[in-house]
């Protein structure tokens, strides 16, 4: 299976297909609801659509990352290496491909939702550079996907699923609250679209790299990490 087929198959899996469809539907409804009916009213649709798209992508990414890392183990949904023959990729290679497939599928969802934000942006003409909303979505999605991988790898055991249901929203809420309390824009996907935030891209890149590094960290049966 080539990369395009693998990403297409990942997009069609229920978790991502349903989440992506819901995201697109919500953005479309919000765009229509906030679009002015008459010429006398100022168009402020982007002030809602932009932050909502960024936050929804972050939420979808962190949930998928936590689910992939927490349920499937060290290498996501690679699955057991049953019946593998010589020349067949091992668990590490399969797991790395799975992480990449999910990231690319999330990127596809971000691209599919971009036209809705572009329409709102064209109508509202916000006072932010055009490159900022375009850059924001992929780095937000990548950072929160890394955060999900990190949380999924740290929470292990029989009750990992239940713990992640609490830990994921609690961690996201803590990051947002910290930004608001300090008056900063470092990890808050809702306030990030409003203005260029120099600290936001490095923070998202750091989250993505830490999540990737932790997801590649494995433990031998003897308990020694590798």
Q: Is 15 exposed, middle or buried (0-12, 13-18, 19+ CB in 10 A)?
A: middle
Residue 193 lies inside a defined structural domain of this protein: yes
Residue 224 lies inside a defined structural domain of this protein: no
Of 17, 27, 209, 29, the closest CA to residue 109 belongs to 17
Residue 125 lies inside a defined structural domain of this protein: yes
d(CA 184, CA 148) in angstroms, rounded, equals 22
* Axis-axis angle for helices 131-154, 46-72 (nearest 10): 30
Q: What is the CA 154 to chain-centroid distance, rounded?
A: 18
* DSSP category for residue 125: -
Give the model's confidence band at 71: pLDDT under 50 very low, under 70 low, under 90 confident, else very high: low
Q: What is the mean pLDDT of residues 57-83?
A: 66
Give the model's confidence band at 59: pLDDT under 50 very low, under 70 low, under 90 confident, else very high: very high
Residue 220 lies inside a defined structural domain of this protein: no
29-57 residues labelled b (16+ CB within 10 A) or e (exposed): ebbeebbeeeeeeeeebbebbbbbbbbbb
Residue 226 lies inside a defined structural domain of this protein: no
Residue bearing the bigger pLDDT, 215 or 34? 34
Residue 68 lies inside a defined structural domain of this protein: yes
Q: What is the mean pLDDT of residues 175-188?
A: 94
* Number of helical H runs and strand E runs in the chain: 7, 0
User: Residue 127 has which token pair?
Assistant: 């006072």
The boundaries of the domain holding residue 165 are 3-80+89-215
Q: What is the mean pLDDT of residues 2-27?
A: 92
Residue 69 lies inside a defined structural domain of this protein: yes
Q: Answer for the pair 124, 45: CB distance below 8 angstroms, yes or no.
A: yes
Q: Answer for the pair 40, 135: CB distance below 8 angstroms, yes or no.
A: no
Q: Answer for the pair 6, 51: CB distance below 8 angstroms, yes or no.
A: no
The number of distinct structural domains making up the chain is: 1
* Per-residue pLDDT tens over the stretch 27-45: 999 999 988 886 657 888 9
Residue 225 lies inside a defined structural domain of this protein: no
DSSP-derived 3-state class of residue 89: coil
């Amino acid at each position: 299976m080539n990369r395009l087929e693998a990403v297409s198959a990942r997009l069609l899996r229920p978790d991502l297909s349903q989440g992506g469809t819901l995201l697109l539907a919500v953005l479309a409804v919000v765009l229509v609801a906030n679009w002015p009916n008459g010429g006398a009213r100022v168009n402020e649709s982007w002030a809602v659509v932009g932050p909502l798209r960024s936050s929804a992508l972050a939420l979808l990414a962190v949930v998928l990352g936590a689910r992939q890392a927490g349920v499937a183990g060290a290498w996501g949904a690679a699955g057991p290496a049953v019946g593998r023959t010589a020349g067949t990729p091992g668990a590490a290679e399969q797991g790395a491909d799975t992480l990449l497939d999910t990231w690319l599928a999330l990127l596809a969802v971000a691209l599919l939702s971009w036209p809705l934000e572009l329409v709102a942006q064209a109508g509202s003409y916000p006072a932010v550079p055009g490159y900022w909303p375009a850059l924001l979505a992929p780095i937000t999605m990548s950072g929160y996907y890394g955060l999900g991988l990190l949380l999924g790898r740290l929470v292990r055991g029989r009750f990992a699923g239940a713990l992640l249901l609490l830990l994921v929203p609690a961690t996201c809420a803590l990051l947002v609250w910290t930004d608001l309390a300090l008056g900063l824009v470092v990890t808050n996907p809702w306030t990030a679209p409003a203005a260029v935030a120099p600290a936001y891209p490095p923070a998202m890149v750091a989250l993505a790299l830490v999540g990737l590094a932790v997801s590649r960290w494995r433990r031998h049966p003897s308990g020694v990490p590798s």
